[in-house]
Structure formats: structure tokens, C-alpha cells
């Protein structure tokens, strides 16, 4: 009777495909909402090559005119209100703040020169973007109403 030979599998560490940044962001933003005068879903933003993170490069990539109103904000500044746990928070609010902290960490780890751009007036498109490892604009996008 012939014995079956066991196959020996040697791990090179390349068998498991690395989850791309867009998928990681998609997972991180599941059930997260950006709160302003309305609550808005958060989506991954995947742009194309850019020399730097500027309002001009963003407007070009999202197909907006150069004279579109844009307000640039600091990345850390914009995340502060989303990640700070207040004394009055219940479990749900704390969990949301922790998810925003994890999202911020993911973006900081994978993007350089991160900035936030609020595009438009009153009904805003908001982009938290930086340059990914390949030099593309990437990050998250959402909407807000600010009167």
C-alpha cells in the first residue's frame, strides 16, 4: 500500500494579499457618520497622481472649477472634535470616537501631507486627503451642511 506524502508548505509571507488602502478605509468607515447640521456617510476617496496636496490638485481631480470656494483646514484640527471623548458620552458615543481614532490612525499611517478641504458653501463636500505610497490623492470624503 502506497503512503500519501504530505505536501510541505513554506510560507514566504506573500500568499495573503495585502488589503489595499481603499478597502481598509471602507472597512474603517462602516457605520460612521460625519455630523454637522445633517449626518452624512463617509466614503473612501481615491484620486490620481498629484505633485502635492493642494486645493488646486483636489479641485482638478474632482472636476470643480478653479474658482470654487475651498477652505483648507488642519487634519488634526478636524479630527479633534470627532475623536475627543466627552464626560457626557455614553457607550455608543465612546465607540464612535474610538472608530474615528482608528480611522485617523489608518490615514496617518498610509498618507503623507494630509489636509482637509471643505469645498463649496453651506452644502459642503469635505475631503480628508493626503498622498498615498504611489503619490495619488487618497483619503475620505463626506458632506456637511454649515449655515
CATH number at residue 90: 3.40.1460.10
> What is the mean pLDDT of the segment spanning 47-66?
96
The answer to the question of residue 4 being in a domain is no
The answer to the question of residue 57 being in a domain is yes
- Long-range CB pairs of 63-70, under 8 A, 24+ apart, other chains included: 64/119, 68/119, 68/120, 69/119, 69/120, 69/121, 70/117, 70/118, 70/119
> What is the mean pLDDT of the segment spanning 53-64?
97
The answer to the question of residue 7 being in a domain is no
- Which of 105, 124, 127 is closest to 116 using CA atoms? 127
At 10 the pLDDT is 46
- Point out which residues pair with 139 in neighbouring strands: 45, 129
At 147 the pLDDT is 87
Q: Mean pLDDT of all residues in the chain?
A: 90
Cβ atoms < 10 Å from Cβ of 123 = 12
Cell triple for residue 110?
A: 498610509
The answer to the question of residue 102 being in a domain is yes
Using one digit for the tens of pLDDT, what is the confidence trace for 65-104?
Answer: 999 999 999 999 999 999 999 999 999 999 999 999 999 9
The answer to the question of residue 54 being in a domain is yes
The answer to the question of residue 33 being in a domain is yes
Which residues span the domain enclosing 38?
21-145
> What is the mean pLDDT of the segment spanning 5-11?
46
At 126 the pLDDT is 98
At 58 the pLDDT is 98
Q: Where are the alpha helices (DSSP H) in the chain?
A: 21-28, 55-62, 75-83, 91-110
List, in order, residues 6 or more apart from 95 with CB less than 8 Å away.
none
Lowest mean pLDDT among 10-14, 40-44, 131-135: 10-14
Residue 128 near residue 75, CB atoms below 8 Å: yes
**Residue 6 carries which DSSP code?**
P
Q: How far apart are CA 105 and CA 109, in angstroms?
A: 6
Displacement of CA 93 from its chain's centroid (Å): 20
Q: How far apart are CA 57 and CA 137, in angstroms?
A: 9
At 3 the pLDDT is 54
At 90 the pLDDT is 95
The answer to the question of residue 121 being in a domain is yes
What is the model's pTM?
0.85
Split into its structural domains, the chain has a count of: 1
Using one digit for the tens of pLDDT, what is the confidence trace for 108-122?
Answer: 999 999 999 999 999
Please report which confidence band the pLDDT of residue 36 belongs to, taking 50, 70 and 90 as the band edges.
confident
Amino acid at each position: 500500500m502506497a503512503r500519501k506524502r504530505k505536501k510541505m508548505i513554506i510560507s514566504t509571507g506573500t500568499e495573503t494579499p495585502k488589503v489595499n488602502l481603499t478597502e481598509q478605509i471602507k472597512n474603517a468607515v462602516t457605520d460612521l457618520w460625519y455630523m454637522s447640521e445633517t449626518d452624512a456617510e463617509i466614503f473612501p476617496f481615491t484620486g490620481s497622481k498629484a505633485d502635492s496636496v493642494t486645493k488646486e490638485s483636489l479641485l482638478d481631480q474632482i472636476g470643480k472649477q478653479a474658482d470654487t470656494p475651498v477652505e483648507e483646514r488642519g487634519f488634526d484640527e478636524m479630527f479633534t472634535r470627532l475623536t475627543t471623548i466627552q464626560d457626557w458620552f455614553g457607550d455608543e458615543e465612546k465607540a464612535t470616537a474610538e472608530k474615528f481614532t482608528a480611522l485617523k490612525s489608518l490615514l496617518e499611517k498610509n498618507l503623507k501631507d494630509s489636509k482637509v478641504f471643505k469645498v463649496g458653501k453651506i452644502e459642503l463636500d469635505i475631503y480628508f486627503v493626503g498622498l498615498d505610497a504611489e503619490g495619488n490623492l487618497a483619503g475620505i470624503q463626506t458632506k456637511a451642511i454649515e449655515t
